[in-house]
Structure 1
Amino acid sequence: MLIQVLRRAAGVAGVCLLALASAAHAQSGEIPSCYAANQLPLPAQSVKRELFVVIDQTTVLDAALTNALGRQLQALVVPGTRFRIFSFSAFSQGRYLQPLGSGTLEPPLTDTSVRNATAVGKLKALDACLKSQWSYGTKLAAKAVGEAIAGSTDSLAKSDVLSSLAAVSKAIRDEPTGATKTVLVVSDMLENSSITSFYAKDRMRQINPADEAHKVEKANVQADFAGADVYVMGAGIVPEPAGGGKGALNYRTPQALEALHTFWQGFFDKSHARLVEFGMPALLSPIK
């Protein structure tokens, strides 16, 4: 479902709200609780994963990477997941960090003692609601990601990757559920801001990770991901020059990519995160 929606790059027809959704819920964008609607207590540890998807709108994905992103999300946006989706690009150009969609997909009621003590009609209503909730939630997530991808462009002059990730980390740190925290960053990871620039003459340059880390420290950019697992997709992507014929200018050397990886490894280590995979540009394994 997510893959098909992303292929249309946000060309999603109107999504029907759950029958139980109130006007307040619809306006806030939150997914209504099936357990609350049926006056049943939530199962213990109902949220097993906090998923944060952060999309850099200065990074344009091709069809293969868009489909790969859809496959990753399809396996992640499942019952027991609370998801939050953000987009960002350049603060100075009005493309500041903004939330696009969020919601919680509740797990099924598997506790035998509770099911046996609950009326059959209420159980059927709960199970039907959870099925509808999952359908609505996956469409909501796909629509938010699709909108972010559709708004991506390589025409923006700046990209505030560091500041945006630092801002997102505060939301990650403040989530109190105790669930596994997973962060998927979709970005070329090429900073181009007042802090520093990873470009030279419109091309990705080979950076010195230690020098760049010093610039970040000097700018007082601080992040705390509270032990989250971080996956990056799209690192090192540089769009082909307009008009073509200059593909050699966009060649990224293994040394330049490794330096980029080393810088971000250090940044996430210092920010209490575990950089599990740094896709240059694709992730080679499913997110766990």
Structure 2
Amino acid sequence: MQPGDVPSCYDALQLTDHKPASASRHLVVIVDQTARLDDALKKSVHQQVEQFVSPGDQVQLVAFSANAQGKYTDLVYKGWFDSPLPADVRNSIGKMTLNKFDACIKAQVKAKGKMHQKLRDAFGDGTTDFPKTELIGSILQVGTEVLGSIGEERKVLLIVSDMLENSSITSFYSKNSVRKIDSTAELAKVSKAGLSGDFAGADVYVIGAGFVGNGMAYSSQQALGSLESFWRALIEHHSGQLKQFGKPQLLSPMQ
């Protein structure tokens, strides 16, 4: 745990015997710091995360750079939002421990503010240009590393990125807009490059897809549709399910 992260109240108060074997759901948010998102899109990410997280969930926030000249991954936040104690357990433990547990649960609710602060810090500043972005390999690697360490609970992956590759493998750009993509041909390039991964059965959501030039550049619906088709095929090929592909925003809440 890093400063500001949220530990489990069960662990903190030595009530691990009563702790659920796993989280109800495990939300992983990965933020591409090379993406240049506007304030409205960033706000929508906060709103989606806020409405999704419920008691019993665990959350991880990961910032990554797809910059070919300096790739890195940083776990910036990890927190539990515990389920309440079952009634029979509440009746079986001492009043002092019970009061401490209830206070800890209330503190977890307040700690959502810290989660959102970490999320704000994870966004790129939007002022740096990255001529090359190895996004496909980065998402496969980050998704595999983070999701592979999670247990049997339901996994939900939120990718915050423009989803636009621009590398030696391929480029999804044409004249500063999204070009129409042949999914079969692009998947063959990915395979030839030896890129692989495992999304471990996660439900995948995307915010920011196709958002070019701070939203000022035009990309056709046909091109954006082909971008979605490519990522759907890639994610499904690597054991994930693409639930919504925000172009750039999600049209309904994550479930």
The alignment's TM-score, normalised by the length of structure 1, stands at 0.81
* Contact 1:187 1:233 survives alignment (8 Å): yes
**Deviation per residue, 1:109-155 (Å, 9 max, x gap):** 1x22211111122111110012113322x233212210122534451
**Residue identity opposite 1:286 in structure 2:** P
Instruction: Give the structure 2 partner of residue 164 of structure 1.
Output: 138
Q: Does structure 1 residue 253 correspond to structure 2 residue 253?
A: no
Instruction: Give the structure 1 partner of residue 110 of structure 2.
Output: 135
* Contact 1:227 1:274 survives alignment (8 Å): yes
**Residue identity opposite 1:169 in structure 2:** G
Instruction: Give the structure 1 partner of residue 9 of structure 2.
Output: 34
Query: 1:184, CA displacement in angstroms?
Result: 0.4
Q: 1:148, 1:38 → 2: CA distance? A: 31
Match 2:195 to one of 213, 218, 221: 221
Instruction: Give the structure 2 partner of residue 201 of structure 1.
Output: 175
Between 1:111-120 and 1:275-284, the stretch displaced more is 111-120
Q: Determine what percentage of the aligned residue pairs are the same residue.
A: 39
* Contact 1:78 1:134 survives alignment (8 Å): no
Q: 2:5, 2:44 → 1: CA distance? A: 26
Instruction: Give the structure 2 partner of residue 92 of structure 1.
Output: 68
**Deviation per residue, 1:229-279 (Å, 9 max, x gap):** 0001111111159xxxxx6xx211111111111111110110110000111
The alignment's TM-score, normalised by the length of structure 2, stands at 0.91
Count matched residues.
Answer: 254
Q: 1:135, 1:204 → 2: CA distance? A: 41
Q: 1:87, 1:176 → 2: CA distance? A: 18
| 1:69-218 map, 5 Å | 69-109=45-85, 111-136=86-111, 138-153=112-127, 155-218=129-192
Instruction: Give the structure 2 partner of residue 275 of structure 1.
Output: 242
Question: CA-atom RMSD, angstroms?
Answer: 2.1
SS at match of 2:242: strand
Distance change in 2, residues 1:36/1:253 (3 Å): closer
* Contact 2:33 2:122 survives alignment (8 Å): yes
Q: 2:146, 2:163 → 1: CA distance? A: 19
Instruction: Give the structure 2 partner of residue 17 of structure 1.
Output: none
Q: 1:78, 1:93 → 2: CA distance? A: 38
SS at match of 1:156: coil
Instruction: Give the structure 2 partner of residue 16 of structure 1.
Output: none
5+ long unaligned stretches in structure 1 = 1-24, 242-246
